[in-house]
């Protein structure tokens, strides 16, 4: 195959990696439909992919991963900076040279018997100032087809790169070499102790080994667009955040742009596409997972979505909860770890209807019947809780016409949050930017299925929903937010904190989903100074239950949602203090000030 670039650095790197990993051949990817179809056909042939019913779900495929390879593995994810302090207390760290020695050992001959694909991609519109070019080398055809949807893969990227342009090298292998004649596994991967998701932020380099799944393997996403980009952004004066971006337009046509950070599986995709229940107000999606933000010439903060698709949580996605996500994967979609029904369509738990035909092939690739119980009498789930759809953003019926504008959209409102079944009220507003940064830095959530190995913790602090994605010291991260506030001054977005997830037993107290538009509208009204708010020790909150007007919502439920339980918050503050202490002298002074102010307000 001829080499479609003259970029010396790229050619030398591809040669170097090929010499180390010894693939059977090297395939330069061009992002074409022909390439996609060819790889899918090959994967159907080997049994890795299932072609779905063309009439029901055109041009779509399902995959089941190895049962051990179903989510990000945070315990095997590393930030390898020269000093441990620069990675900070929230990241795993290994000395970069030592880690490279270990990983070179693993990479040696690891692509034997497989092709190595070279994927030139752009995060952000190709050629835009804010875009970053990456090249992923991988031995996984599953990664190639997913990258087609999630990033911008094209020969145009090589043109922009030219002969001496810079790119971010992203090396990936499933870590499962094939001996001559050896039959491949359906989903090759390496055992957990050999998995490494490694980042070298000081040299903009990513090395991933042993996992074929999602954020571990599609290196443009969490690895480049969050971990490497957050470190690069800090050096260059911009920010990379785990945030959705949406446009909320009022009946008069005024547009508000909202960016919200919730931890994995805590509602970003859903909020990004919500169907507003507030008459005349509508939401358009700009991004559902990642925001890159930079101050513009007018002094406001502008955001772009660097991705081209959605890698969304399948379970819970229904016509009722998120019809726009379902529409986005109505064709040209990839599904991972869902149920494949008898008529070759897909199904997952809480899809809004029973599994057609009563069952199918489950995520473990076994025949499965809905309602089936395991030995302990628990219902066997057909789809893995972290099963995902890969869908093109352009197919989302409410995608914002400006979603690919390289200039981005000016952010009016930041929202932080997480899953808390108690204590944290539905919504509160920060008194100012600095308290807002405190809220973001002490955001907390109950663990979800999006990471494999969080252990048996009931609550974890997850600053800015970035714990697994910060490419540098978390204390410095907080300082970066304070600094951004100073730079933006009175043009800084207003900051809010939300929690859709309070429970009364098994019941969610707040209906959530579309009704969350009521909370967003309150935020916009606050920006305009149109509505009063009550000052509470934790921040400003809505007056009475005006938010629930026209809803059949019991007053006592509203009271529970809005209760500021001072005792519980005093306890939370002590926990936050203990958590923050681990950042030592990297903890910004302003964070301690905010902590003290909050304590004083709580009395």
Which residues belong to the active site? 266
The CA distance from 111 to 97, in Å, is 22
Contact flag: residue 349 with ligand GTP (CB under 6 A)? no
| C-alpha closest to that of 133 among 42, 200, 229 | 229
Pairing state between β 196-200 and 77-79: parallel
- Residue 233 Cβ, how far from Mn ion at the closest point, in Å? 17
Least separation in angstroms between CB 3 and ligand SPV: 30
CB of 159 to ligand SPV, least distance (A): 28
Binding status of residue 340 toward ligand GTP by CB under 6 A: no
Q: Does 289 bind ligand GTP (CB under 6 A)?
A: yes
> Cβ-count burial of 306 within 10 angstroms (0-12 exposed, 13-18 middle, 19+ buried)?
buried
From the list ligand GTP, ligand SPV, Mn ion, none, pick the one residue 333 interacts with, judged by a Cβ distance below 5 to 8 Å according to partner type.
none
Q: Name the 3-class secondary structure at 447.
A: coil
Among 266, 303, 383, 591, binds ligand GTP (CB under 6 A): 266
Quick one: tokens of 256?
A: 């508000």
- Selection from ligand GTP, Mn ion, ligand SPV, none that 221 binds (CB < 5 to 8 A by kind) is ligand SPV
Q: Report residue 147 as tokens.
A: 């990258």
Closest listed residue to residue 241, CA positions, set 275, 265, 268: 268
**In the 8-state DSSP scheme, what is residue 155?**
H
87 binds, among ligand SPV, Mn ion, ligand GTP, none (CB under 5 to 8 A by kind): none
> Binding of Mn ion at residue 288 (CB under 5 A)?
no
Tokens of 326: 């379902």
Tell me: does residue 214 bind ligand SPV (CB under 6 A).
yes
Q: How far is the CB of 281 from ligand GTP (least distance, A)?
A: 17
Assess 195 for contact with ligand SPV (CB under 6 A): no
Strands (E), 296-361: 301-304, 309-313, 334-336, 339-341, 346-347, 359-361
Label each residue of 237-248 as H, E or C: CCEEECCEEEEE
In the complex, minimum distance from the CB of residue 289 to ligand SPV, in angstroms, rounded to a whole number: 5
The secondary structure element, H or E, covering residue 101 is helix 96-107
Q: By the 8 A CB rule, do 573 and 580 touch?
A: no
Site for ligand SPV in 15-54 (CB under 6 A): none
Site string for Mn ion, 195-224 (x = CB under 5 A): ------------------------------
User: What whole-number distance in Å separates Cα of residue 163 and Cα of residue 7?
Assistant: 4
The residues in 215-234 that bind ligand SPV, with binding defined as CB under 6 A, are: 215, 221-222
Could you tell me if residue 602 is left (phi over 0), alpha (psi between -120 and 50 degrees) or otherwise beta? alpha
Considering the complex, what minimum distance in angstroms separates the CB of residue 289 from Mn ion? 4
Closest contact distance (angstroms) between CB of 450 and Mn ion is 7
Closer to ligand GTP by CB, 116 or 396: give it: 396
Q: Which of residues 535-594 bind ligand GTP (CB under 6 A)?
A: none
Binding mask 409-448 for ligand GTP (x = CB under 6 A): ----------------------------------------
CB of 117 to Mn ion, least distance (A): 24
The whole-angstrom distance between residue 47's C-alpha and the CA centroid of its chain comes to 29
Between CA 328 and CA 399 the distance in angstroms is 10
What is the rounded distance in angstroms from the CA atom of residue 167 to the CA atom of residue 146? 20
User: From the list 481, 500, 522, 569, which residue makes contact with ligand GTP (rule: CB under 6 A)?
Assistant: 500
Near Mn ion by CB under 5 A, which window of 33-41, 172-180, 264-272, 440-448?
A: 264-272
- Out of 289, 332, 345, 462, the only residue in the binding site for Mn ion (CB under 5 A) is 289
Give the footprint of Mn ion on residues 499-528 (CB under 5 A). none
Q: Is 289 in the site for ligand SPV (CB under 6 A)?
A: yes
**Residue ranges in 97-116 that form contacts with Mn ion under rule CB under 5 A:** none
Dihedral, 208, 211, 212, 218 alpha carbons, nearest 10: -30
Closest residue to ligand SPV in the complex (CB): 215
Among 173, 216, 264, 328, binds Mn ion (CB under 5 A): 264
Name the segment binding ligand SPV (CB under 6 A); options: 138-146, 214-222, 377-385, 428-436.
214-222
Rounded Cα distance, 153 and 69, in Å: 25
DSSP-assigned letter for residue 17: H
Smallest distance from ligand GTP to CB 220, Å: 15
HEC sequence for 89-152: CCCECCCHHHHHHHHHHHHCCCCCCCEEEEEEEEECCCCCCCCEEEEEEECCHHHHHHHHHHCE
Q: Which window, 52-60, 213-221, 499-507, 581-589, contacts ligand SPV (CB under 6 A)?
A: 213-221
Q: What is the Cβ-side half-sphere exposure of residue 262, based on CA atoms within 13 angstroms? A: 28
Among 153, 217, 259, 265, contact with ligand GTP (rule: CB under 6 A) = 265
CA 523 – CA 291 distance, rounded (Å) = 20
Asked whether the beta carbons of 315 and 362 are under 8 A apart, the reply is no
Are β-strands 413-417 and 255-261 bridged in parallel, bridged antiparallel, or unpaired? parallel
CA atoms within a 13 Å half-sphere pointing along the CA-CB vector of 180: 0
The DSSP code for 369 is E
Residue 416 or 433: which CB sits closer to ligand SPV? Answer: 416
State which residue, 232 or 268, has the beta carbon closest to ligand GTP: 268
313 binds ligand GTP (CB under 6 A): yes
Subset of 419-458 contacting ligand SPV (CB under 6 A): 450
CB 360 within 8 A of CB 342: yes
- By the 10 Å C-beta count (0-12 exposed, 13-18 middle, 19+ buried), 12 is classed as exposed
- The contact mask relative to ligand SPV for 295-314 (x = CB under 6 A, - = no) is ----------------x---
Query: How far apart are alpha carbons 321 and 511 in whole angstroms?
Result: 10
> What is the CB neighbour count within 10 angstroms for residue 298?
8
With CB under 5 to 8 Å by kind, the binding choice for 72 among ligand SPV, ligand GTP, Mn ion, none is ligand SPV
Using CB under 6 A, list all residues that contact ligand SPV. 72, 214-215, 221-222, 264, 289, 311, 450
Using CB under 6 A, list all residues that contact ligand GTP. 262, 264-270, 288-289, 312-313, 315-316, 321, 450, 500-501, 508, 512-513, 516
Using CB under 5 A, list all residues that contact Mn ion. 264, 289
């Amino acid at each position: 195959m001829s080499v479609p670039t003259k970029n010396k650095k790229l050619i030398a790197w591809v040669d170097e990696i090929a010499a180390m990993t010894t693939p059977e051949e090297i395939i330069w990817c061009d992002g074409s439909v022909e390439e996609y179809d060819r790889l899918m056909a090959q994967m159907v042939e080997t049994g890795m992919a299932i072609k779905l019913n063309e009439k029901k779900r055109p041009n779509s495929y399902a995959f089941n991963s190895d049962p051990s390879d179903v989510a990000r593995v945070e315990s095997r994810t590393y930030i390898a900076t020269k000093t441990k302090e620069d990675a900070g207390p929230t990241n795993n760290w290994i000395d970069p040279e030592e880690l490279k020695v270990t990983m070179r050992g693993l990479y040696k001959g690891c692509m034997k018997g497989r092709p190595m694909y070279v994927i030139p991609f752009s995060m952000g519109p190709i050629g835009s100032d804010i875009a970053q070019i990456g090249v992923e080398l991988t031995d996984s055809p599953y990664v190639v087809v997913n990258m087609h949807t999630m990033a911008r893969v094209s020969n145009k990227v090589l043109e922009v790169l030219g002969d001496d342009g810079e790119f971010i090298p992203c090396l990936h292998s499933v870590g499962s070499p094939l001996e001559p004649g050896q039959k491949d596994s359906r989903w090759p991967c390496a055992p957990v102790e050999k998995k490494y998701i490694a980042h070298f932020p000081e040299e903009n380099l990513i090395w991933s080994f042993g996992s074929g799944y999602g954020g571990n393997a599609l290196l443009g996403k969490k690895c480049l667009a969050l971990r490497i980009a957050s470190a690069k952004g800090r050096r260059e004066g911009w920010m990379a955040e785990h945030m959705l971006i949406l446009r909320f337009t009022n009946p008069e046509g005024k547009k508000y742009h909202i960016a919200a950070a919730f931890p994995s599986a805590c509602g970003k995709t859903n909020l990004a596409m919500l169907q507003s229940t507030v008459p005349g107000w509508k939401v358009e999606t700009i991004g559902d997972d990642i925001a890159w933000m930079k101050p513009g010439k007018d002094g406001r903060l502008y955001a772009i979505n660097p991705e081209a698709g959605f890698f969304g949580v399948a379970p819970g996605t229904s016509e009722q909860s998120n019809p726009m996500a379902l529409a986005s994967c109505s064709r040209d979609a990839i599904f991972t770890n869902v149920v494949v029904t008898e008529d070759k369509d897909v199904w997952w738990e809480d899809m809004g209807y029973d599994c057609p035909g009563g069952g199918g092939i489950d995520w473990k690739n076994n025949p499965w019947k809905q309602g089936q119980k395991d030995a302990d009498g628990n219902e066997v789930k057909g789809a893995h809780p972290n099963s995902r759809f890969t869908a093109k953003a352009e197919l989302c019926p409410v995608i914002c016409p400006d979603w690919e504008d390289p200039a981005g959209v000016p952010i009016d409102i930041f929202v932080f949050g997480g899953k808390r079944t108690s204590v944290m009220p539905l919504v509160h507003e920060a008194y100012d930017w600095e308290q807002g940064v405190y809220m973001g830095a002490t955001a907390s959530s109950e663990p979800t299925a999006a990471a494999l190995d969080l252990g048996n913790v009931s609550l974890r602090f997850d600053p800015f929903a970035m714990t697994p994605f910060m490419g540098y010291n978390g204390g410095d991260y907080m300082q970066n937010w304070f600094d951004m506030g100073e730079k933006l001054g009175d043009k800084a977005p207003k900051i809010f904190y939300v929690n859709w997830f309070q429970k009364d037993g098994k019941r969610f107290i707040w209906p959530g989903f579309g009704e969350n538009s009521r909370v967003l509208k309150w935020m916009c009204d606050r920006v305009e100074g149109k509505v009063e708010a009550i000052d509470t020790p934790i921040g400003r909150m809505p007056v009475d239950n005006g938010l629930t007007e026209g809803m059949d919502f019991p007053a006592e439920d509203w009271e529970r949602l809005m209760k500021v339980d001072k005792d519980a918050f005093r306890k939370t503050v002590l926990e936050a203090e203990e958590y923050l202490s681990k950042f030592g002298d990297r903890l910004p002074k302003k964070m301690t000030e905010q902590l003290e102010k909050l304590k004083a307000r709580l009395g």
